Amino acid sequence: MKNKKTVITYGTYDMLHEGHMNLLKRAKALGDYLIVGVTDENYDRSRGKLNVIQSTKKRVKAIEKLDFVDKVIVEKHKKQKAQDMVKYDVDIFAIGDDWIGTFDYLKKYVEVKYLPRTEGISSTQLRRENFDLIKMGIVGLGRDTQFFIDEAQFVSNIKINRIYGDDFLAIKKFTKESSIIKFGHDNYDEFLDTPIQAVYIDTSLKRHYILIKKALQAGKHVLCENPIALNKKELKELLSLAKSKKLILLTALKTAFLPAFNQLLKELKKGDIGEIKEVRATRTSLYREKNYPDSFMEQGATNILSGYPSLLIHKVLGKRKSIKFFDQIEKNYDISNLIITTHKDDAIGIARVATGIKSEGDAVISGTKGYVYIPAPWWLTREFYFRFEDTHKSYKFNYEFEGCGLRYMIAEFASLIQRDKRKSKMLTPSDMVSISRVVLDYNEFKEKSSKKTKKKER
Ligand code: CTP
């Protein structure tokens, strides 16, 4: 016979409040030993909890401080609860009655108890009371603007209410039809002069620099599609302007903010696949077939698409030592590019981007003991496989993925503003510089090679 009764409970415990304390004390009173499972931030985000303010570390620390809690664990995935029941020889699973019925499947392992929830308090309410709503404006009326607006509806602390675009008639039509955005502007200074705190920029790549600069000068935080600038001088200037103004300047590379992508980076750090020697990532899209205008394609495959493979390669292999381009040109722009970089310990990055060639959009991270395979489209990371010579050892991760993935990025941007933080850990300014430098180096390389061709022709 066991002489102690083990109780387990789970939760996010963001901004630990009286309701949490009551629940935890009630849970402890059911037995002798209380285990609390705190949900990991990537897991929370994958199950749609996008607005949690405190990091996993902070939330774990707050629970650890409670003298009646005996053990704190981190909950990382959906199936973990059942595994924990066996692992910790649990007798009772307890949770608030807002979850009534949800965990009945655990009854085959333990006794399941739904405890009364404390009325009138929740983390959601505390977040609402403690943080103001962020007003945000959109710069550029593009094909994906509506996606961004729709996805922002899932981020509770942000309100998009304005849009700026050159085409007055198009803007007028858009605001008339939109149930969310009511204010349209065709004058950028006038748009920036409104009480918005932040802007999202999605225009032609050439215009990013000037639009970002003006927004920062007007004191607005900026989220802008990649690349934020097309030459090194401009990139440096924008980053130092954001720094001096204490504003956020974040590249809108949605992959960087996906729960599964962040979990992948965490898992790689455990070293199961040995020393990582190669990262290969492909992203191709036949925009012409999707009826994008020629002017879009003419920006070049590297400028449009390289941000995604560069992100994976930089995050896994770090700073690069050298770079080589193998481009294929149509008219005056690249429709395809194979970008090979070298890194520390002779590791190699292989980025394949194309707007004129279709290929499998997957990614492989190869190590001395095994590899990770991320199926297409790897940049909308949902699942990834750890594979080894001995196939029995292989395992996979699978994450929920809501909408088109933009909401995770918008939530991080809003959370940085609310927490008064300038830098995102998921995409730091130095990540942004490294990723942009691929584009900047390519543009320099292209300029040099076109000068050489002209010389030969003379
Ligand atoms: N809980 C409770 N009474 C409250 C709030 C939460 O008993 N007023 C319980 C929940 O039922 C759960 C645990 O505390 O068992 C952790 O809940 P969590 O989801 O972290 O807290 P909420 O305040 O409900 O968070 P949110 O508003 O983000 O959903």
Closest ligand 1 atom to Cα of 120: 8
CATH 3.30.360.10 in the chain, residue ranges: 259-400
The CB-side HSE value for 251 (13 A sphere, CA atoms) comes to 27
Query: How many whole angstroms from 275 Cα to the centroid of ligand 1?
Result: 42
211-244 confidence digits (pLDDT tens) = 999 999 999 999 999 899 988 899 999 999 999 9
Q: Could you tell which of 16, 21, 47, 123 is best to mutate to test the pocket of ligand 1, judged by most ligand atoms within 8 Å of the CB? A: 123
For 132-254, CATH gives 3.40.50.720
Per DSSP, the three-state class of 81 is: helix
Query: How many whole angstroms from 44 Cα to the centroid of ligand 1?
Result: 13
Whether the pLDDT of residue 31 is over 80: the answer is yes
First vs last C-alpha separation in the chain:
94
Residues with CB under 6 A from ligand 1: 11-14, 19-20, 23, 95-96, 98, 117-118, 121-124
Whether the pLDDT of residue 48 is over 90: the answer is no
Return the CATH class of domain 259-400.
alpha beta
334-360 confidence digits (pLDDT tens) = 999 999 999 999 999 999 999 999 999
409-449 confidence digits (pLDDT tens) = 999 999 999 888 999 999 999 999 999 999 999 998 888 88
Positive or negative torsion for Cα 354, 404, 415, 211: positive
pTM of the model: 0.87
CATH 3.40.50.720 in the chain, residue ranges: 132-254
353-389 confidence digits (pLDDT tens) = 999 999 999 999 999 999 999 999 999 999 999 999 9
CATH 3.40.50.620 in the chain, residue ranges: 6-125
Whether the pLDDT of residue 14 is over 70: the answer is yes
Residue 263: closest CA among 90, 59, 35, 75: 75
For 6-125, CATH gives 3.40.50.620
Whether the pLDDT of residue 450 is over 80: the answer is no
Contact 221, 197 (CB under 8 A): yes
Per DSSP, the three-state class of 203 is: coil
Average pLDDT score, the chain: 94
CA distance 211 to 202: 10
CA angle 330/332/335 to nearest 5° reads 40
78-136 confidence digits (pLDDT tens) = 899 999 999 999 999 999 999 999 999 999 999 999 999 999 999 999 988 888 889 99
